[in-house]
Chains A and B, each alone.
Chain A
């Protein structure tokens, strides 16, 4: 595995891969590459009919592939798990040989997810009871961090660091349900990029489930979302979590046909 140290090297490596028919799970844009190269976290392995990029994500390698065939036997890093995500259209078949290939190399599929969308103008949560749900404050960051770490996948769960949580709190991206003693009962993390809001995390602490807190956090979100015809709200829900799906459907979300599956290789 070789480190990518500059953009010129990256361009030479990737340009031949960016062709019709080459299968990839890499949707990075220029600014992403620039950041990862500056951080010194981007590596590659070249094969005869493909190339792999590896991003060092600390506790795992995030794998991005380009495959024009399935002959290569790439040597995978043995120091920590390699993880990737494969996106596909519901009912599509194109991803099947890719999944079969990676499974033959020791990857195990997990964390199947489906994307749900709702236009902001059609987003309707319940009425919002004041007092229970608020924008998070910096003092809540450790509890939010603990709840997210305990609740989401440690590889593909996009779990923010405490510093990232504090920065998000300052941008009003963290909504939380708190009890009378200011304990965190649930968290909703939202991020806006241009005309798209993404619900990155929504979770209720186990002991507080069944009280409608997730719905209340969505109701709070409804009060702050800009209701414009061009704006949408998206999220990814685990395919095996019907309760979450029903919650989102009640708020107006529906599947848009895009699905994903994680693949995990543990040395």
Chain B
């Protein structure tokens, strides 16, 4: 399954009511709160074999689907 599709599946399981393909201010508009982010980080770390740590818990990393994808790709590349 492509990475974007996997990510969307995780996000949809977390918050089924949100259209993650359209939202551009997931954090700025409190669509995702810190509870969601912590649950999401655990899933992302395991699914994509990356280590999102406290230093990455910034609004700009989680505001859009593409921001989250960029973060995952960056951490995968850092290996």
Interface residues, chain A, with chain B CB atoms under 8 Å away: 7, 10-11, 14-16, 18-22, 24, 26-31, 33, 87, 193-196, 230, 232
Contact = CB atoms under 8 A, between A and B. Distances in A.
B57 A30 contact: yes
B8 to A, nearest CB: 17
A7 B30 contact: no
A19 B29 CA distance: 26
Given A194-B28, A230-B29, A18 B34 contact: no
Contact of B35 (A87, A196, A230): A87
Interface in B33-79: 34-35, 37-38, 41-43, 45-46, 51-58
A254 to B, nearest CB: 17
Nearest to B46: A20
A10 B54 contact: yes
8 contacts: A16-B51, A18-B52, A19-B42, A22-B42, A27-B34, A28-B54, A30-B57, A33-B57
A19 B41 CA distance: 7
B57 A29 contact: yes
Contact of A7 (B37, B41, B54, B58): B54
Given A27-B35, A27-B38, A33 B54 contact: yes
Nearest to A10: B54
Contacts of B28: 194
Nearest to B59: A29
Contacts of A14: 53-54
A15 B54 CA distance: 7
B41 A18 contact: yes
Given A26-B38, A27-B38, A11 B53 contact: yes
Given A11-B55, A20-B45, A196-B30, 9 more contacts: A7-B55, A10-B53, A11-B53, A11-B54, A27-B38, A33-B57, A195-B30, A230-B29, A232-B30
Main secondary structure of the interface of B (DSSP, over half): helix
Nearest to B28: A194
A194 B45 contact: no
B34 A15 contact: no
Contacts of B29: 194-195, 230
B45 A18 contact: yes
A29 B53 contact: no
B7 to A, nearest CB: 15
A7 B53 CA distance: 10
A30 B55 contact: yes
A7 B37 CA distance: 19
Contact of A29 (B46, B51, B58): B58
A28 B52 CA distance: 14
Nearest to A30: B57
Contacts of B57: 28-30, 33
A30 B46 contact: no
A20 B55 contact: no
Q: Which of A29, A31, A33, A194 has the most CB of B within 10 A?
A: A29
